[in-house]
Amino acid sequence: MIITSIYIDGFGIFNNFSLENLQGGINLISGNNETGKSTLLKFLRYTLFGYPRAIEERMPPLNGGNHGGRIVAIHSDGNEAVFERYSGVKGGPTTLNYDGRTYDDQNQWLLLLGNANNNLYDNVYAFSLEELINIDSLKASGVEDKIFSLGLGLGRFSIGDAESNIHKKIESIYIPRGGVQKIPKILDGIQFKSNRIHKIQDNLPRYNELVQTIEMISGEVRKIEDEVNELRKEKD
């Protein structure tokens, strides 16, 4: 998507301000300190991804005008998209004009942005000089995973989240020296049953001895019963 025009109704020092005929590739915007370069960057961020909750961070218009504006861009399909947002609750109300239709919800808006979020945009496309110096923020914010996910065409699906979920499931099954996970519990159960088997095996010789004793006694009992029966017959 290529931004071609920026219209600011009221935002920071800007009032009824516009930048037009922006081209694909690099557009250099230069100026002295405090002339609005950082303010313009914030306008792009806030318009595309929403105004911050804190009122003092919203860059209210200092020179009049409604707080907000619009960005005109050419999408990769060649159609023009107009992103319009004004300061308000939940990031501010939005209106999207695209392919001859007007959208007031966020679904088509997010789709045109490739499901990119504010962190991704800040760290990859709209970082300031201070953020460029602190390049470690790319990894710290999890944007690296998001870029990888978008590069694979996975949309909102995050490789980092998937990896985290896999690790959680692994840890629920087994961690070194763990005692409450599934595998340690199974191993404890196996060990308990193994100990019982060993005890039974240790008692097998005694068991066999008792069986032989029982058989011998049973034989003697049968012999005595036979003798008793013979005596009864002789008596009769």
Residues 171-198 have pLDDT tens digits of 777 666 666 667 777 878 888 888 888 8
Higher pLDDT, 120 or 144: 120
Q: Which of 23-37, 77-91, 143-157 has the highest mean pLDDT?
A: 77-91
Q: Is 138 left (phi over 0), alpha (psi -120 to 50) or beta?
A: alpha
Contact, 143 vs 119, CB < 8 A? yes
Is pLDDT above 90 for 122? no
Is pLDDT above 80 for 147? no
Residues 66-113 have pLDDT tens digits of 999 999 999 988 999 999 999 988 888 899 999 889 998 888 998 898
Q: Report how far apart, in Å, the C-alpha atoms of 24 and of each of 84, 105, 112, 195, 211 are.
A: 21, 28, 17, 74, 95
Phi/psi for 211 (5° steps) reads -60, -45
Where in the chain are the domains?
Answer: 2-113, 177-236
Beta strands (DSSP E) in the chain are 2-11, 14-19, 68-74, 80-86, 94-98, 101-103
CATH, domain 2-113, list 2.60.120.330, 1.20.1300.10, 3.40.50.800, 3.40.50.300: 3.40.50.300
For the chain, percent of residues with pLDDT exceeding 70: 80
Burial of 14 (0-12, 13-18, 19+ CB in 10 A): buried
State the residue for tokens 């695209």.
Answer: 98
